[in-house]
Structure 1
Amino acid sequence: MKDHPVKLALFDLDHTLIPIDSDYAWGAYTTSIGWTDPVVFQQRNDDFYAHYKAGTLDIHEYVLFATDAARRQGAAKSIAAHADFMRTVVLPVIKPVARELLRQHQEAGDQVVIVTATNAFVTRPIALALGVDELIAVDLEHDASGWITGKIQGVPSFREGKISRVEDWLAHRGWGWGDVEATFYSDSINDLALLEKVQHPVATNPDARLRAIATERGWRILDLFTP
């Protein structure tokens, strides 16, 4: 263990740093531009989202569904559409209070990392827009042409998988949990395992189940998006 632990600030993304679910919103956006059947897609998207909130989501099944439209449209059209999605959907909802929270950690010299269960195609531009270079997201498998297949590559950064992926990120830098003093901000009961792992869990805009646990355990509760 280092004499002075590295300060690590981990952030979930959806409903933690931004007041939307980026994967759900991307699906709604692709429907709005005619890539999916609106009725069928909306029903399945809502079903998956309900499972996510309940903590019962099959991440592999969901990613196959969520990436299907982009996979069929191809890389060039998908990248262009995502740029418009950023401009029209994501950037308008990023709040100054979230940027300020990130900036406080960055100015303090902390290692800032976004750790999200949403795939990297959707979230990499969002992380960069927030001024965060380090992103741990669900990595997507690519085919011989270099485009996504709909399958997950490696361990998905979802539920307990977030711990594994953070451990890999640490190991790549020659660190372990004993070398860091970690804070983790999340809204979701799905992130309970990582919240329990770090020294400083922060229930941020927490769902009802997480708020109850945080209250019971005396964890810090941060409501960034309260008017």
Structure 2
Amino acid sequence: MINISQKFNKKFILLFVILVFFITATGFAVYFYIQYNAIKNNSDSLFKQEAVQLTQKIGQFMELPKEEPSVATITDKNKLKDQSFFANSENGDKLLIFTKAGEAILYRPSTNKIITVAPINLQTSQTSPTPAPEATPSIIKVAIYDGGKKAGLAELMKTKLSSTIQNITVITSNAQKNDYQKTLVINLNNVNNDFLKQIIQVTNGEISNLPEGETKPDADILIIVSGQ
């Protein structure tokens, strides 16, 4: 009887230990699963929050597509330097990709400037690779003519452009007339349309040919600022 009781006790203890181990292991698994999902959800929330913050900042001086972009941070610019889109990138820059609109924006939070804007093609093909985003020329020459009666309009526009758009050099002068009713943007050297779009959005101007009587400057883009 004593031997039977001892064997029974040993089996009971062994089963108890196994049961405790199973419950503990299951508890840890459930705990880590819950923690993993919490971290994943928090990460998704942070990415969405960053996308909203970036679009709000950039949207102050540029019209953006009506969709939530994918956001990435440049962490090693040297790996990207051979791609023209990232030629002027710096570590810490933000890449916003609007997949539906097919548009990519490289933005620098430290200076609150747009570095590059380019169309993208995200459709894959077996016969041809996806082309890299088309980058604008490294430096764009912009001439600004004062076409209003109020002095200093060209200099004000120069300051606005220089603080918003990178990779430009700006010169100012006076137009032949001072009664322009609208700000005009003249593409003198077939500048990339996406870069021209930035100019138009910042200046609130409209595309035009070189007005009769105005001197063509040594520049890629001419902006004639109105007094209106």
Q: TM (normalized to structure 2)? A: 0.24
Larger-Rg structure: 2
Q: Which one has more relative contact order, counting CA pairs under 8 Å at least 6 apart?
A: 1
Q: TM (normalized to structure 1)? A: 0.24
- Higher helix proportion: 1
